[in-house]
């Protein structure tokens, strides 16, 4: 029997999952341009004819992971209220010029944003229009960052997810869930942006709520939009306690779902954004070594008997290495 903690923990962001169109341009942007590592290639558990890509740091640590369901021909979504409208990664201080020049050289538009809570921010949308931001908020490391053969100087390399922006029609109900239930606290305000942090705060432990203008339309799902955001919790015991607490408060919470690399529960916050609470274990190294992460297609056990059919139906891809962008860009 699982011994449940009295006060379960949220330790920040576990991952963000978004929708893409063609898989190869998605790989090119996140591996070749942004310098993330493809730490797992698998399929959508609910639709094995669709890839599920996980990008992150060298080991696939929680808090570094951005995942995608790429579906060729997927219609473009619309950003709006009731969505995660930006995923922000941490980069070292004084690296914004490097990323702006890099974006230009790869054919992307880099837009400098107003300083946010004292830090420089750059926006670079991916090929589907998903909003990716880079915030210069950490010191540079001396260790070179080489992922999937793409080397970016250590003084510029992406470190982890810094924060995510939730665009809401109303501040109150979402703020109440974050603070009264999930353990976040409000730490700052700038205009219509409210910052919430959990634990020690800082990168991976930060959520911004952006209160939308009343005329802002609701978001529509599709390529270039976030499907859900996952918060990390230490283990199954903490997750079970979260499930009980959320249900007691009247939230409709899913059963625990085994995603092979973590266990998940899902519920919608008051603004209708899909929230997930995911466990840290077992992690992405449960079926691959650190050296081989992302090198092979991994299937849930129930689909192994269909491997040949699934592999034949999935689009051919090439994990990028150093060099020019794929012709699809």
Beta strands per DSSP E along the chain: 13-20, 37-44, 47-56, 65-70, 83-92, 110-116, 119-124, 132-138, 145-147, 150-152, 161-168, 185-190, 193-197, 206-211, 226-233, 257-258, 262-268, 274-282
Strand partners, 86: 165
Q: How far apart are CA 101 and CA 89, in angstroms?
A: 17
Contacts of 180 (CB under 8 A, 6+ apart): none
Q: What is the pLDDT of residue 142?
A: 55
CATH class of 13-313: alpha beta
10-residue mean pLDDT profile of the chain (329 residues): values are 80 98 97 95 94 96 97 95 97 96 95 97 97 94 61 89 97 97 98 97 96 92 98 98 97 97 98 98 96 95 95 93 42
Strand partners, 215: none
Which 3 state secondary structure label does DSSP give 176?
Answer: helix
Q: What is the pLDDT of residue 329?
A: 32
Report the first-to-last Cα separation within the chain, whole angstroms: 52
Q: What is the pLDDT of residue 180?
A: 97
Q: What is the pLDDT of residue 152?
A: 87
CA dihedral in degrees (88, 90, 95, 98; nearest 10)? Answer: -50
Q: How far apart are CA 174 and CA 15, in angstroms?
A: 19
Q: Where are the domains of the chain?
A: 13-313
Residue 7 C-alpha from the chain's centroid: 26
Strand partners, 81: 218
């Amino acid at each position: 029997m699982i011994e449940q903690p009295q006060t379960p923990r949220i330790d920040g962001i576990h991952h963000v999952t978004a929708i893409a169109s063609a898989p190869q341009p998605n790989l090119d942007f996140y591996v070749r341009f942004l310098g993330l590592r493809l730490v797992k290639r698998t399929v959508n558990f609910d639709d094995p004819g669709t890839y599920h890509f996980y990008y992150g740091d060298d080991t696939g640590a929680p808090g570094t992971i951005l995942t995608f369901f790429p579906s060729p021909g997927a219609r473009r979504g619309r950003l709006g209220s009731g969505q995660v409208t930006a995923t922000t990664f941490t980069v070292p201080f004084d690296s914004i010029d490097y990323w702006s020049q890099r974006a230009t050289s790869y054919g992307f538009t880099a837009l400098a944003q107003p300083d946010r809570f004292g830090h420089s921010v750059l926006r670079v949308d991916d090929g589907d229009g998903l909003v990716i931001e880079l915030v210069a908020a950490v010191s540079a490391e001396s260790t070179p960052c080489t992922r999937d053969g793409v080397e970016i100087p250590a003084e510029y390399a992406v470190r982890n997810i810094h924060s995510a922006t939730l665009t809401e029609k109303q501040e109150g109900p979402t703020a109440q869930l974050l603070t009264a239930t999930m353990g976040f606290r409000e730490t700052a305000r700038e205009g219509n942006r409210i910052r919430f942090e959990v634990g020690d705060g800082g990168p991976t432990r930060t959520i911004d709520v952006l209160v939308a203008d009343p005329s802002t339309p609701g978001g529509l799902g599709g390529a270039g939009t976030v499907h859900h955001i996952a918060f990390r919790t230490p283990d199954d015991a903490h997750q079970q306690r979260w499930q009980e607490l959320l249900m007691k408060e009247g939230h409709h919470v899913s059963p625990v779902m085994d995603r092979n690399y973590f266990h998940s529960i899902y519920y919608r916050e008051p603004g209708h954004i899909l929230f997930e609470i995911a466990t840290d274990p077992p992690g992405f190294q449960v079926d691959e070594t650190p050296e081989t992460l992302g090198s092979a297609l991994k299937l849930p056990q129930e689909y192994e008997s269909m491997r040949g059919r699934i592999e034949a139906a999935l689009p051919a891809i090439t994990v990028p290495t150093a060099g020019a962008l794929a012709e699809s860009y």
